[in-house]
Amino acid sequence: MLINCDLHSHSGYAGGVGQISLDDLEAAMDKKGIDVFGTGDCLHPLWSRFLKDNVVEAEDGLFSKKGNKARFMLQTEVIFTAAVGSGRKSVHTVLLFPSFESVDRTCQLLENIGVKNTIGRPFIKCADNFDVGNKLSKILDIDDKIEAIPAHVMTPQGVYGSNNPIDKMKDFYGSATDRIKAVETGLSADPEILSLIPELDDYALVSNSDAHSAALNRMGREFTTVETTSFSYSNIIDAIRKNKIARTAEFNPTEGRFFLTGHRVGKKGHGDAYCVFSPKYTPKDNKCPICGKKLTVGVLERALQLKDIQGGTREFGELSPSTKDFVNMVPLVEVIAYSAGVTSVVSAKVVALYDKIVGAFGNEVKIWFEKDYVVRKRLESVDATDNVIDNIIKVKNGNFSFSPAGFDGTYGKLVVGKKEDVFEVNVISGKASGQKRVF
């Protein structure tokens, strides 16, 4: 059987978000077609207490509200920080747990090594990569079913990210590296980009939404479909460890907030000016032509650097032999909002049409994997306009781009029906504060 898993999220305790209710999550999972969802922040005392009071173990290691269909997996993200390379590096890492007992024992361990957990995402301070290896191993020793997955590996807070860059997984995770079997692609990367990095041939690639809410353009925007015999924590983890992954559904990397190199509008000294570059156009000194500070290096550029450093031979577009099927998606509410010419994906008009469309298919996931003529027929049956139908089909066929692509923390802007060459972006635009218009 195929199980759609989205195993990285955050609760209301992660800061910057309101409280998230399980009812809202269940409703969104049903519409999106997600079977198993990571609870987020399960090491946080209040969230873990809430979960214990509100879910029951439905199958081995999977939890649900009593009698309900939606399944939850105990999950958190932790941040390991260590002195590596030329400075300190912080790396986000997803942890999955088979039981509340293993969660409680991990909380105890963290307390014993002086880790406070007030923000949902505990900060595990380490001296160096040797210490990271030790501490991660201690966590994994608690239960051999606990899984550690380096999160969004290419973003600045990921293991390969441009913040104090390192060249190999081992340079950060030390002796625990061999116990890592999968990495998370993150919103700004997909299997095509990660195929540039040779050492990843030995890892399964998983994809998760990293959602901070149950919003329909956030949860399930990325997920992993595993192939297994029945619902259980062990089966899902086993499928991940053995790379028995049927496919990943990927946010389009160019929409991700760190795809290209640049500096966004509003940065100190920028006013409304921004700059964004494909790798070959990045200024040689890596300095921003507007403010003079170091540019935020994008995922594409960083992946090409790692390819050279690790002696990779594959060109962009050539997939690693271990890569599984994957599809690039755009959240359906975004396609509908775009077609209706509105900016808000939660406007009543957008949500009403979304609900009608999803009702006709069963859930959103099915649209992305259904044949075009079936999609067209079903969309016609719910009176979707020609514009909406055409745009959904175009997105399904990859006939869209994000222009400009995401960079320096800003999401890419969707344009349906137009492809943009991500290797040919070279923009310095707008008026910087205290400067004349750049051009």
- Residue 291 binding Zn ion, by CB under 5 A: yes
The nearest distance, CB 210 to Zn ion, in angstroms, is: 6
Number of residues that bind Zn ion (CB under 5 A): 6
Q: Tokens 């990325």 belong to which residue?
A: 222
Contact window for Zn ion (CB under 5 A) among 25-33, 233-241, 282-290, 390-398: 282-290
Does 257 help bind Zn ion (rule: CB under 5 A)? Answer: no
Residues 299-338 that bind Zn ion (CB under 5 A): none
Q: According to the binding rule CB under 5 A, does residue 212 interact with Zn ion?
A: no
- Report the residue number, 85 or 289, with the smaller CB distance to Zn ion: 289
CA distance 235 to 19: 31
Sign of CA pseudo-dihedral 106, 112, 114, 118: positive
Q: Please say which residue, 209 or 225, places its beta carbon nearer to Zn ion.
A: 209
What is the rounded distance in angstroms from the CA atom of residue 388 to the CA atom of residue 84?
Answer: 50
Applying CB under 5 A, which part among 236-244, 286-294, 346-354, 368-376 lies near Zn ion? 286-294
Under the binding rule (CB under 5 A), the answer on residue 290 touching Zn ion is: yes
CB nearer Zn ion, residue 291 or residue 357: 291
Most distant CA atoms of the chain, gap in Å: 64
d(CA 36, CA 59): 12
Q: What is the DSSP letter of 378?
A: H
Interface stretch with Zn ion, choices 14-22, 85-93, 301-309, 410-418 (CB under 5 A): 85-93
Contact 282, 162 (CB under 8 A): no
Q: What is the DSSP string of 256-293?
A: STTSBEEE-TTSTTTTT-EEEE-GGGS-TT-B-TTT-S
Handedness of CA 251, 88, 95, 116 (dihedral sign): negative
Contact residue for Zn ion among 31, 44, 263, 378 (CB under 5 A)? 263
Q: Does residue number 74 form part of the binding site for Zn ion (CB under 5 A)?
A: no
Distance from C-alpha of 115 to C-alpha of 316, rounded to nearest angstrom: 41
Restricting to residues 372-431, name those near Zn ion by CB under 5 A: none
| C-alpha distance from residue 323 to each of 34, 255, 302 (Å) | 22, 21, 20
To the nearest whole angstrom, how small is the minimum distance from the Cβ of residue 186 to Zn ion? Answer: 8
Binding mask 6-35 toward Zn ion (x if CB under 5 A, else -) reads ------------------------------
Contact at 8 Å (CB) between 22 and 55? yes
Contact 212, 240 (CB under 8 A): no
Nearer to Zn ion, 29 or 290 (CB): 290
Q: Which stretch binds Zn ion (CB under 5 A): 11-19, 191-199, 259-267, 351-359?
A: 259-267
Q: Is 36 in the site for Zn ion (CB under 5 A)?
A: no
Binding mask 123-162 for Zn ion (x = CB under 5 A): ----------------------------x-----------
Rounded CA separation 293/270 (Å)? 11
For position 288 contacting Zn ion by CB under 5 A, the verdict is: yes
Instruction: Write the Ramachandran bin of 262: left for phi over 0, alpha for psi from -120 to 50, otherwise beta.
Output: left
Q: How far is the CB of 296 from Zn ion (least distance, A)?
A: 9
Which residue of the chain is nearest Zn ion when measured via CB? Answer: 288
Any contact of residue 92 with Zn ion (CB under 5 A)?
yes
Q: What is the binding site for Zn ion (CB under 5 A)?
A: 92, 151, 263, 288, 290-291
